[in-house]
Chains A and B, each alone.
Chain A
Amino acid sequence: SQKIEQNSEALNIQEGKTATLTCNYTNYSPAYLQWYRQDPGRGPVFLLLIRENEKEKRKERLKVTFDTTLKQSLFHITASQPADSATYLCALENQGGKLIFGQGTELSVKP
């Protein structure tokens, strides 16, 4: 069956360090992958989309990689700040063409 797996354990890092979050998928061949940020009690907010023919994409302090051979995406936040503390979700289109989300990884950036 199709699965999306993200680190279930919370990631705690020090301010200024780089946070790296992982998204692995099985039994998919997605044309693209997306990352969203979700704050408590709020809906997810779109951050980045990377297509299968793109190895890397950047937006300000954010960087996403997409390895279709490993079936993995890495999401990096450089020079992290306490305001980056949130849950980060990866999402893929399933075979039915609908956007399916991972369970999310909670990031906590300490001052």
Chain B
Amino acid sequence: ETGVTQSPTHLIKTRGQQVTLRCSSQSGHNTVSWYQQALGQGPQFIFQYYREEENGRGNFPPRFSGLQFPNYSSELNVNALELDDSALYLCASSRGDRNEKLFFGSGTQLSVL
């Protein structure tokens, strides 16, 4: 059984650029949630995908978008990057559309210069 993997681990972009972050969910899990974590803060919910459909969204602008693929892996896309987008982006997978016991990846550290 493989865990949640995210790529890349680190990324440096400049303001205005676009970025795509990737996540492979744990075997048997069909739900993926994305979180943004600023330094010293808790993870902030961005959105969730269940069976390839968006299943809830947090307080993030439309330039944050995502996809879930038939194999339940997922992408997070951020357009028109801003300095405040610098953070650790976490992907978590779970079974069904419940939020009991999320399995997190190690995250992608994004720096926007």
Residue pair A43, B105 in contact (C-beta under 8 Å): yes
B2 located at the interface, meaning its Cβ lies under 8 Å from any Cβ of chain A in the complex? no
Whether A43 lies near B106 (C-beta < 8 A) is yes
Q: Per-residue 0/1 for B40-62: is the Cβ within 8 Å of any A Cβ (1 yes, 0 no)?
A: 11111100100000001010000
With contacts defined as CB atoms under 8 Å apart, how many contacts are there between chain A and chain B in the complex?
A: 59
Q: Cβ of B78 < 8 Å from any Cβ of A? A: no
B107 contacts across to A, CB distance below 8 A: 41-43
State whether A43 touches B90 (Cβ < 8 A).
yes
Closest-CB distance, A38 to chain B (whole angstroms): 8
Range for the number of chain A residues in contact with chain B = 20 to 34
Residue A82 at the chain B interface, CB threshold 8 Å: no
Which chain B residues (92-113) contact chain A, with CB distance < 8 Å?
92, 97, 99-107, 109
The answer to the question of A100 belonging to the interface, with a C-beta cut-off of 8 Å to chain B, is yes
Q: Are A100 and B45 in contact, CB atoms less than 8 angstroms apart? A: yes
Tell whether, in the assembled complex, residue A103 and residue B42 are in contact, meaning their CB atoms are under 8 Å apart: yes
> Would A43 and B92 count as touching, CB distance under 8 A?
yes
Chain B residues near A97 (CB-CB < 8 A):
56, 97, 99
Contact B90 A93 (CB under 8 A): no
Q: Tell which of A6, A46, A102 touches B101, judged by Cβ atoms closer than 8 Å.
A: A46
Given contacts A43-B92, A49-B100, contact A89 B43 (CB under 8 A): yes
User: Least Cβ distance of A88 to chain B in Å?
Assistant: 11
Q: Which residues of A contact B74 (CB under 8 A)?
A: none
Show the binding face of A for B, using Cβ within 8 Å: 4, 6, 32, 34, 36, 41-46, 49, 89, 93, 96-104
30 contacts across the A-B interface (CB closer than 8 A) = A4-B42, A32-B100, A36-B102, A41-B106, A43-B90, A43-B104, A43-B105, A43-B107, A44-B102, A44-B104, A45-B104, A46-B102, A46-B103, A89-B43, A93-B99, A97-B56, A98-B33, A98-B45, A98-B48, A99-B33, A99-B45, A99-B99, A99-B102, A100-B45, A101-B35, A101-B42, A101-B43, A101-B45, A102-B42, A104-B42
